[in-house]
Amino acid sequence: MFGAAASAPMVVLAAGIPAIYATTGVVALPLTYLLVAAGVAVLAVAYTSMARQITHPAAYYGILAHTLGRGWGVAAGMVALLAYGAIQTSLYGLAGATLAAHLGGTWWVWAAITLTTVATLGVRTIVLSTRLLAAVLALSLLIMAVFVLAALTRPTTDTLAWHGFDASGLAVTGIGGAVAFSVASLMGIDAPASFAEETTDRAAISRATIAAALLLGAVYATAAWAMGVTVGPDHIAHAAADPTPLPYTILDRAGTGWSTAAAVTLILAIVTSMLAFHNVFARYVFAMAREAVLPTRLAGTSGGTRLTAPRGGSLTQTVLAAATVAGFAATGADPVTTMFTWLSTLGAMGLLTLLLAASTAALTAPASLHHTHTTRWQRRIAPTLGVAAGTTLLTTMLGNTGSLLGAAPGSPHPYLLPAILTTTAALGGIWAAHLRRTRPDIYAGIGRGTPSTHAVPDAITISI
């Protein structure tokens, strides 16, 4: 639920797919989604395999600390905090703008109301969050199914067109941008690994992550294909760029009320996506503070037990998000084209980099970190393919950052995002080196922190 909800299928349907068509004009977007989802799923094999063995709430931090070195672990932890925090905070801009468009008012007021809601849920039991995510995700998938049926019942030709899956459609100028947008649509599926200490079945981490990537890839490909069928491959780019949202126009064919239901579900999906990223960020802060890499007071938990929520990490995320929203509001920045676009792109780029780093780490991991039941596919083949797929996807994303941001040709702005990520990783490495010199006891425990008996309920207790 967390992996799929973080990706926010309704956001992809209402805004992502039309934006890709309008910006790139790539007719083979359905095939692009399938290929990108397959690449992300292969990347997730090594990541989840390592996460199952190390079982650290700060998954990337723990994996790299055990394999590439403690300094790399701290660098990965800092990049993960930046990436998860950026994506989560970006959604406040989208939520505020969406609510203001439907109900009136100022976007940052609605963003503040949404922030308060997420902050309240963030310090409550994880079961409550999961139930909310499940309900909204089910509703989102229902509306997407209705959208597909409404689109396919009125194709532009007598037969269904399959241009969206024609491989020749990949050899076009806008394919790089389509790949970059597709990668960004799938980020968040890595969330399950952060709940490793709270699961009764470690294999569920792999199943949840890989299933989310494949399922969402198929759902997004189907929705993009249906949109192309009902509009026509020659007109899809122009229709998607129309000010009237194309998905809502198609949903109106299914009967009155569906477009309204979609608008309400879109808002709920944005909130649940925020909640998913909020919970992951909170667990990273908790785990790193538990090992004193971050201030230890941030390792506090709600009610004194991790069975509820990592309160210190949750409050940290809320404060940082509030400060960021206030900063964008004070500068008069556009909540969608600036705040949402820039921060979500930064986060997606950071998470893709971390997935690539996890595959690299799996190839260098000592035999002691591989479970006796780990297959050669998980140890060598998938990580090797993951490094190749991840490098291709990341290179494509970096090369098309300008199209993601809507920057003018020749603008230096696209270089800011990789510079921010590199600087964050470097600062993490510097902090680790400082700990090595001044606090060798803390440095020795990086990535090795084990939960207190009373801080994380064991599997038997959870089952009872």
Q: What is the CATH number of the domain that holds 19?
A: 1.20.1740.10
**Tokens in use for 336?**
């969608």
Phi-psi region of 257 (alpha: psi -120 to 50; beta: other; left: phi over 0): left
Q: Does residue 411 sit within a domain?
A: yes
Look-up of token digits 């199952």: 52
pLDDT digits (tens, 9 = 90+) for 57-116: 899 999 999 999 999 999 999 999 999 999 999 999 999 999 998 898 999 999 999 999
Q: Does residue 307 sit within a domain?
A: no
CB 421 within 8 A of CB 79: yes
Specify the 3-state DSSP secondary structure of 32: helix
Count of domains for the chain: 1
**Tokens in use for 3?**
């992996």
Q: Does residue 45 sit within a domain?
A: yes
CA atoms of 42 and 36, how far apart (whole Å): 10
Please return the burial class of 333, using the count of CB atoms within 10 Å of its CB with bins 0-12, 13-18 and 19+: middle
pLDDT at residue 369, rounded to an integer: 66
**Tokens in use for 446?**
């990086």
CA atoms of 256 and 357, how far apart (whole Å): 48
pLDDT at residue 433, rounded to an integer: 96
Q: Does residue 209 sit within a domain?
A: yes
Block mean pLDDT (10 aa), the chain, length 464: 86 90 89 94 90 87 92 96 94 93 92 92 73 90 94 78 86 86 89 81 86 93 92 85 84 88 92 90 90 86 54 90 95 91 92 93 77 74 91 90 79 89 96 94 85 46 42
How many residues comprise the chain? 464
Cβ neighbours, 10 Å, residue 243: 4
Q: Does residue 343 sit within a domain?
A: yes
What are the angstrom distances between the C-alpha of 75 and each of 1, 365, 418?
A: 28, 18, 14
CB 179 within 8 A of CB 393: yes
pLDDT at residue 458, rounded to an integer: 43
pLDDT digits (tens, 9 = 90+) for 375-388: 788 878 989 999 99
Cβ neighbours, 10 Å, residue 261: 15
pLDDT at residue 365, rounded to an integer: 79
Amino acid identity, residue 412? P
Q: Does residue 363 sit within a domain?
A: yes
- Nearest by Cα to 228 from 152, 312, 132: 152
pLDDT at residue 305, rounded to an integer: 43
Q: Does residue 190 sit within a domain?
A: yes
Q: Does residue 302 sit within a domain?
A: no
| Residue 337: domain span | 2-296+329-463
Half-sphere exposure of 84 (CA within 13 A, CB side): 33
